Amino acid sequence: MSAPAAGERHWLRMIAGYVRPHRGPFVAAAVLLLASSLLGLAQPLAAKALIDGLTAGQGVGRALVVLTGLVIVAAVLLGVGNYLILRTAEAVALDGRRGLVRHLLRLTVPALQRQAPGDLLARVAGDTMLLRQIASQSLIDIFTGGVMLLGAVVLMAVVDLTLLGVTAVVVVLLVVIMGLLMPRIRAAALRSQESVGDMGAALERALGAFTTMKASGTEATEAARIDAAALTAYRQGVSLARWGSVAGTSAGLAIQVAFLVVLGVGGARVASGAMPVSALVAFLLYVAYLSHPVMQLVGAGTYLQIGRAALTRIAEIDALPTEPIDLPTAPPVRAATATGVPAGPARVGGPTTATGAGSAPGPAEVVFEQVSFRYPDRDEPALRDLTLTVPAGGLTALVGPSGSGKTTVLALIERFAEPHQGRILVDGRPLADWPLAELRATIGYVEQDVAVLAGTLRENVAYATPGATDEEIRAVLRTTRLGTLLDRLGDDLDAPVRHRGLSLSGGERQRIALARALLRRPRLLLLDEVTSQLDAANEAALREVIQEISRRTTVVVVAHRLSTVLAADKIVVLENGTARSVGSHPELVRTDALYASLAAEQALV
Ligand SMILES: Nc1ncnc2c1ncn2[C@@H]1O[C@H](COP(=O)(O)OP(=O)(O)O)[C@@H](O)[C@H]1O
Ligand SMILES: [Mg+2]
């Protein structure tokens, strides 16, 4: 057997944590279900009274009425209890999903990047569903089943001790069998859930590179990968079904064996006059009754094993590191058909300054002090001993061969990851001293691989600025030369941008991301290869916009194309994660061989 995983040790505590907030309805359900079962337990006694009455030649009307009443009340209690418990189960699943989603969205960037999104999806959707079973029905079943079993045993002891001894031997045998089966059930459940996650991951891989897959003609290969995971899930599910059936059958068989043995031994005792017929009938009814709590306990035990597997997978996510950031409460999701924008907070300057004019505190300054950083799964550091200053205001450019660490510099300013050595200061304040949300609100970041979210143009541009007015959005779209896109969308800010036929070119995506960053009026604007997919005319136009913005805010551009950085106040040449030289374009062409060769390649000398 393998050593227990980190998350598995506290599974009981985890269950308790999920159930605690719902203990009111949970306890109420337990009491109702228990009461219903207890009434069931009283039925054999009422039956015994009925038979005793018959034997003694008395009337049976009263006993019949009592028996019927017991049956009806027990049914009602059972129904209400079941409803309560299922409602609690849904609430536990909701809590589990909410908790998991919040945790996921707060993960650090490197922690998330090491996960397969498809597998995470399976955990949020699938494993939390199993939680529903375990935290409610299974616990209740173990509770009521246990009490019922105990009650039946006590009452059986009252009726006849010898027959109880006979029954106990069979039950102990059953417990031993279950002890052997449960670990197998748990292992199969865990592997089954894992392969469902693998299937999600394989599917996500294929769908995420859909056109690449088509162009490469690898549909069959990808299908085989997904198929393999699905087949594993099938095999483990079958194995689960097999052990589950063995458990259920053993339990049923054990009760029947007990019934027959009791019938034999009891019959002999009745014949010898050691016990009355009514006692044998009552005892047999108890044995038959026993099958209910025993099946309940076996079923609950099985589900508990499956639930433990799910808990293990949820605990693995819970163990991943999160950022020290408070999730701001989300504004209500606006319907896509809404025409106007609710009036946001008054904005200083109006639409004309929507091009990123620094608001009150002015442009930000960034300093790297001997910063070293290595990605978790890499041997080679991405940044080594990097020292650089981005002065407040103006245009600073980072250039260098691909892989030299330019994107990493921007990611560290956003504090997506922590440097291993050295420190980074923004406005003279170390990043660690900035509240994360405040730091990120200061920065506008246009990533190299820009993201456009499924939704409307408005949602995409005002993504970080939900209160922006129509005029502000239109102004920023003009600034980023997206007027033609807006025309194509019928001048409708609420047109969906991912809709078929209206999907965007790479350059349009880059400009939407730029518009999004500008609308935030950042004090520090980080642009990663933002003009890489633009044609010459649009690049020239955006270059002017960027220069214009850099008069009022700090702009850091990463550019492979040096044409973008010709006018930069300061150019930092990165190589292998360090700054090899700093200067203006004419200076660097003279003094830095690497830069001179880059410039020569691009015919810029
Ligand atoms: N998420 C990541 N995980 C591991 N290594 C990475 C990651 N991102 C970048 N790297 C590596 O770090 C180095 C610097 O990358 P990057 O900053 O993206 O360079 P540039 O933007 O200059 O092309 C490269 O060797 C790259 O392979
Ligand atoms: Mg890069």
Nearest CA to 296 out of 475, 513, 146, 463 is that of 146
Give the Cα separation of 556 and 527 in Å (integer).
6
Average pLDDT over residues 5-29: 81
Total Cβ atoms within 10 A of residue 33: 24
Q: Is 403 in the pocket of ligand 1 (CB under 6 A)?
A: yes
Q: How far is the CA of 526 from the centre of ligand 2 (A)?
A: 12
Residue-level pLDDT at 330: 60
Residue-level pLDDT at 343: 37
pLDDT tens per residue, range 530-551: 888 888 888 888 888 899 899 9
3-state SS assignment for residue 3: coil
Share of the chain above pLDDT 90, in %: 54
The structure's pTM equals: 0.79
Q: How far is the CA of 523 from the centre of ligand 2 (A)?
A: 22
The minimum-distance atom of ligand 1 relative to the CA of 558 is 21
Residue-level pLDDT at 477: 94
Ligand 1 pocket, mutate which of 377, 388, 408, 576 (most atoms under 8 A from CB): 408
- When mean pLDDT is compared across 61-70, 310-319, 483-492, 555-564, the lowest value belongs to 61-70
Average pLDDT over residues 94-120: 92
Nearest CA to 505 out of 521, 481, 478, 527 is that of 481
**pLDDT score of 567 more than 50:** yes
Most confident of 34-43, 345-354, 441-450: 441-450
Give the Cα separation of 604 and 594 in Å (integer).
14
Give residue 6's pLDDT band: very low, low, confident or very high (50, 70, 90): very low
- When mean pLDDT is compared across 352-356, 381-385, 575-579, the lowest value belongs to 352-356
Please name the helix (run of DSSP H) or strand (run of DSSP E) that holds residue 343, with its range, or none.
none
399 forms beta bridges with 573
**pLDDT score of 375 more than 80:** yes
Please name the helix (run of DSSP H) or strand (run of DSSP E) that holds residue 583, with its range, or none.
strand 578-583
**Which amino acid residue places its CA nearest to atom 2 of ligand 1?**
375
582 forms beta bridges with 572
pLDDT tens per residue, range 160-190: 899 999 888 988 999 999 999 999 999 999 9
User: Which segments of 342-428 are extended strands (E)?
Assistant: 366-373, 383-390, 394-399, 421-426
Give residue 592's pLDDT band: very low, low, confident or very high (50, 70, 90): very high
pLDDT tens per residue, range 360-369: 578 999 999 9
Q: Is 407 in the pocket of ligand 1 (CB under 6 A)?
A: yes
Phi–psi pair at 244, nearest 5 degrees: -65, -40
3-state SS assignment for residue 444: strand
**CATH architecture group of domain 6-318:** Up-down Bundle (1.20)
Give the Cα separation of 473 and 77 in Å (integer).
60
Query: Domain boundaries in the chain?
Result: 6-318, 359-601
Q: How far is the CA of 399 from the centre of ligand 2 (A)?
A: 10
CA dihedral 479, 481, 485, 486 (to 10 degrees): 30
**Which amino acid residue places its CA nearest to atom 11 of ligand 1?**
382
Nearest CA to 455 out of 447, 464, 463 is that of 463
Q: Tell me the HSE value of 261 on the side-chain side, using a 13 A CA sphere.
A: 17
**Which amino acid residue places its CA nearest to atom 14 of ligand 1?**
405
Average pLDDT over residues 38-52: 79
Please name the helix (run of DSSP H) or strand (run of DSSP E) that holds residue 501, with its range, or none.
none
Identify which ligand lies nearest to the alpha carbon of 405: 1
Give the Cα separation of 37 and 144 in Å (integer).
8
Average pLDDT over residues 295-315: 90
Residue-level pLDDT at 11: 82
Average pLDDT over residues 195-200: 92
Q: Is 378 in the pocket of ligand 1 (CB under 6 A)?
A: yes
Residue-level pLDDT at 247: 92
Q: Is 404 in the pocket of ligand 1 (CB under 6 A)?
A: yes
pLDDT tens per residue, range 209-256: 999 999 999 999 999 999 999 999 999 999 999 999 999 999 999 999
**Which amino acid residue places its CA nearest to atom 17 of ligand 1?**
405
**Which amino acid residue places its CA nearest to atom 16 of ligand 1?**
405
Q: Which residue has the higher pLDDT, 29 or 44?
A: 29
**Mean pLDDT, the chain, integer:** 86
Share of the chain above pLDDT 70, in %: 92
Residue-level pLDDT at 140: 85
**Which amino acid residue places its CA nearest to atom 5 of ligand 1?**
375
DSSP 328: P
pLDDT tens per residue, range 316-362: 999 999 998 765 556 555 444 433 333 333 333 333 333 333 345 78
Average pLDDT over residues 270-295: 90
Residue-level pLDDT at 221: 95
Residue-level pLDDT at 502: 59
Residue-level pLDDT at 499: 55
Q: How far is the CA of 406 from the centre of ligand 1 (A)?
A: 8
**Which amino acid residue places its CA nearest to atom 20 of ligand 1?**
403
Identify which ligand lies nearest to the alpha carbon of 114: 1
Give the Cα separation of 47 and 42 in Å (integer).
9
CATH homologous superfamily of 359-601: P-loop containing nucleotide triphosphate hydrolases (3.40.50.300)
Average pLDDT over residues 102-128: 91
